[in-house]
Amino acid sequence: MKRVITYGTFDTLHHGHIRLLRRAKAEGDFLVVALSTDEFNATKGKSAEFSFAERKYDLEAIRYVDLVIPENSWDQKVKDVQLFDIDTFVMGDDWKGDFDFLKEHCEVVYLERTPSISSTQIRNTMKNKEKA
């Protein structure tokens, strides 16, 4: 069984996220999603519209996702790869090169982002509609 992992906040879930998860799952047989916790997002200066529990619930409902684990820090990736016996690490190509250090532990694949969609764009559109 080929095991794949990806990481993210997955806030304001959209078709770009679904496309990434579908393509990540296609890289193997079992997809682990490491979901950024609210606390970890705070250390990155980010906040999510939805809580960790709500985002986890949504991800678990997606057929491509086999397991959701918490992402608590930047440096847990090597440990996760080893703990979950990961064969392939997948991220969007906006992170290209940032995770090449994992190549000594597993294959690293950067997938092309879905153009014209992002959680930031969705939040900004919603805020602008509220102001109008």
Q: Could you confirm whether 96 is annotated as catalytic? A: no
**Among residues 2, 46, 79, 103, which one is catalytic?**
46
Cα distance between residue 64 and residue 18, in whole Å: 9
In the chain, the N- to C-terminal Cα span, in Å, equals 52
* 3-state secondary structure at position 95: helix
DSSP H helices, the chain, are 15-25, 38-43, 52-60, 77-83, 119-131
* 3-state secondary structure at position 72: coil
DSSP H/E element including 36: strand 30-36
Q: Could you confirm whether 44 is annotated as catalytic? A: yes
Tallying the residues shown for the chain, one arrives at 132
**Among residues 44, 79, 96, 127, which one is catalytic?**
44
Residues noted as catalytic: 44, 46
